[in-house]
Amino acid sequence: MDDETESENEVNKQHDDDTKIIYTEFFEEIKKLRKSVKFMSDKFNDLQEEIKELRSLIKSEKGQNEKNNKRVQELEESGNSLSAVAQNILKVIGVNATNDSFVYTRMKGNGRANVSNKPIIMKTKTAQFKEDILKKRKEYGRNLKLPNATCNNTIYINEDLTPLHNSFIKGKGLQ
């Protein structure tokens, strides 16, 4: 009987040793997986922060680009390019501009040909040039007139604001 008990104990011991090895290997794999998940989680959090920063940077760049847009309303004279009209207007208020001063000049609106008096949007290359235009506009006030114009010769120089920015300036806020 002792031999049977001994052999049974030996079988159980062998079984216990195999189970321990399996459990040890299993727990080692779990540790590796946890490390891997933690690494990926940390990396994911870092990437989320980077995305937030990039979105913020994009938003500020868009805001800066909008600040460089100027809206100038003036009757476009036939035969002149928009850039030439913009330069002519700026010459009246004492700002020297060249074709290189603007990123682009375009008419505001949907291209309706029957409306001749549409605002001209000028996107300046630098914010400083835009500020120079606005300072000169303040010096002249509302008395800006375009010489040698055939009809409406009043010039309006305003910032080209989004509707949201416009509502804040007018004191309406978010609605």
pLDDT in tens, 87-123: 877 887 788 887 777 777 777 666 555 555 667 777 8
**Every domain of the chain and the residues it spans:** 1-67, 68-169
Structure tokens given for 140? 């002249």
Q: 47-83 b/e with 16+ CB inside 10 Å = b?
A: eeeeeeeeeeeeeeeeeeeebbbbebbbbeeeeeebb
CA distance 135 to 141: 10
Name residue 69's beta-bridge partners.
123
Q: What angle do CA 47, 50, 55 make, to 5 degrees?
A: 125
pLDDT in tens, 126-147: 888 888 888 887 887 766 666 6
Q: What angle, 0 to 180 degrees and rounded to 10, lies between the N-to-C axes of helices 127-140 and 2-67?
A: 40
Sign of CA dihedral 153, 70, 169, 94: negative
**pTM: predicted TM-score of the whole model, two decimal places:** 0.45
Distances (CA, A) of 88 to 10, 46, 138, 149: 104, 52, 18, 11
The CATH homologous superfamily of the domain defined by 68-169: L1 transposable element, RRM domain (3.30.70.1820)
Q: What average pLDDT does the segment 30-49 reach? A: 95
Mean of the per-residue pLDDT values of the chain:
74
Q: In the prediction, which pLDDT does 109 show?
A: 66
CA distance 125 to 116: 27
Is the pLDDT assigned to residue 65 strictly greater than 90?
A: no
Residue type, 12: N
Confidence category of residue 38, pLDDT binned at 50, 70, 90: very high
What's 151's DSSP letter?
S
